[in-house]
């Protein structure tokens, strides 16, 4: 527990860039940020680095003007409520997390501001009243963008030209993923694809889900949530074993052996989340801070996985890719 509480991950930034004006403004008042990670420190390492770096640029340095209390659910959603109660007991000034943990945090407090750095559909998931005016103690950054599912499927068709059969893997215990599953199914229908949806609720469901596929798919779309992210290596291994190219929401699963991803730049999302925290620590009310939507999208391709699958990535995709893993 002690390690979880103060897991700083070696990403603390020095005080050299700390603005003098901000330093003078904050002397004598150390504010506390509760940081709830839904998976593991290893998965979130680069995102935390971006978050802490941006805080430092804004005048908030961990151990000097702020204290960051880290908690890690490690893919176990039942822990969200436990950590939420702990943050309330600690009287943190603001809580940073991602959308899967927001409901548990809202149940624990309607007073402490909550900032989510990643959330696919906070309005559709009834976490906020609207994007323009969230209207409660919650605000943050959506990962939702128009036609994102369609764009991912179109990219899959570039590498699997005769794609007709699509498998879709998603944790249906997560309301946000249920919304994404419906979005992908609708996009696939418009493109004339037949979809087999693999519904999982826990890690033990993943192997049987693949076993039920047989010859019903030519590619796999993986919906990102703490369950699939925590088990990304095994999902990619299973997909490779049955020769299924995979599409993911963000870079990390591709680094772990997936074929490709297209979606918001998560490090950028966490940098922007730091700006939300800065506003709140300086007096802004979360309910008055509009939810922001993605501004940067990355295409990442794993050429090692492509070679293992016998797939040739078109030159035009390689030319526009933001990351190529070899």
**5-40: pLDDT as tens digits:** 444 444 433 333 334 434 444 445 899 999 999 999
Q: Determine what percent of the chain is predicted with pLDDT higher than 70.
A: 90
**195-205: pLDDT as tens digits:** 999 999 999 99
Structural contact between residues 230 and 277, judged by C-beta atoms closer than 8 angstroms: no
Are 258 and 315 within one domain? yes
Are 22 and 70 within one domain? yes
C-alpha distances (whole Å) from 292 to each of 51, 97, 101, 119 are: 16, 15, 18, 10
Mean pLDDT of 102-124: 90
CA atoms within 13 A on the CB side of 324: 13
Are 304 and 180 within one domain? yes
Burial 302-316 (b: 16+ CB within 10 A, else e): bbebbeebebebeee
Are 309 and 224 within one domain? yes
**266-289: pLDDT as tens digits:** 999 999 999 999 999 999 999 999
Are 319 and 194 within one domain? yes
Q: Report the alpha-carbon distance of residue 196 to residue 167 in Å, rounded.
A: 5
pLDDT of 79 over the 70 cut: yes
Q: What's phi and psi for 307, nearest 5 deg?
A: -65, -40
Are 271 and 318 within one domain? no
Note down the domain range covering 159.
148-264+298-325
Structural contact between residues 42 and 75, judged by C-beta atoms closer than 8 angstroms: no
Q: What letter would DSSP give residue 141?
A: B
Number of domains observed in the structure of the chain: 2
The structure's pTM equals 0.82
Are 179 and 54 within one domain? no
Are 258 and 171 within one domain? yes
Are 153 and 243 within one domain? yes
5 C-beta neighbours (distance < 10 Å), count? 12
Are 270 and 309 within one domain? no
Are 55 and 167 within one domain? no
* Percent helix / strand / coil, the chain, rounded to 5: 45, 20, 40
Q: What is the CATH number of the domain that holds 41?
A: 3.40.50.2300
Are 139 and 283 within one domain? yes
């Amino acid at each position: 527990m002690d390690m979880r509480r103060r897991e700083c991950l070696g990403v603390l930034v020095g005080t050299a860039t700390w603005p003098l004006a901000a330093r003078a403004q904050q002397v004598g008042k150390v504010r506390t940020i509760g940081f709830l990670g839904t998976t593991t420190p290893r998965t979130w390492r680069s995102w935390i680095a971006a978050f802490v770096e941006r805080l430092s640029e804004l005048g908030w340095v961990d151990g000097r003007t702020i204290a960051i209390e880290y908690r890690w659910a490690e893919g176990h959603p039942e822990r969200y409520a436990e950590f939420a109660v702990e943050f309330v007991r600690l009287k943190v000034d603001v809580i940073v997390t991602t959308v899967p943990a927001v409901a548990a945090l809202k149940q624990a407090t309607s007073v402490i501001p909550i900032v989510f750095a990643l959330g696919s559909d906070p309005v559709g998931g009834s976490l906020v009243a609207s994007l323009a005016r969230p209207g409660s103690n919650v605000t943050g950054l959506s990962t939702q963008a128009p036609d994102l599912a369609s764009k991912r499927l179109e990219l899959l068709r570039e590498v699997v030209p005769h794609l007709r059969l699509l498998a879709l893997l998603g944790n249906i215990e997560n309301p946000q993923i249920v919304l994404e599953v419906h979005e992908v199914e609708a996009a696939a229908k418009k493109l004339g694809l037949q979809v087999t949806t693999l519904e999982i609720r826990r890690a033990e469901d993943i192997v049987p889900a693949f076993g039920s596929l047989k010859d019903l798919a030519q590619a796999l779309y993986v919906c990102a949530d703490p369950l699939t992210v925590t088990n990304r290596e095994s999902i990619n291994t299973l997909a490779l074993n049955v020769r299924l190219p995979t599409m993911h929401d963000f870079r990390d699963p591709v680094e772990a052996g997936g074929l490709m991803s297209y979606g918001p730049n998560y490090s950028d999302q966490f940098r922007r989340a730091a700006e939300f925290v800065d506003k709140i620590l300086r007096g802004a009310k979360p309910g008055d801070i509009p939810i922001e939507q993605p501004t940067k999208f990355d295409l990442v391709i794993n050429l090692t996985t492509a070679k293992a699958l016998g797939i040739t990535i078109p030159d035009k995709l390689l030319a526009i890719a933001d990351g190529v893993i070899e």
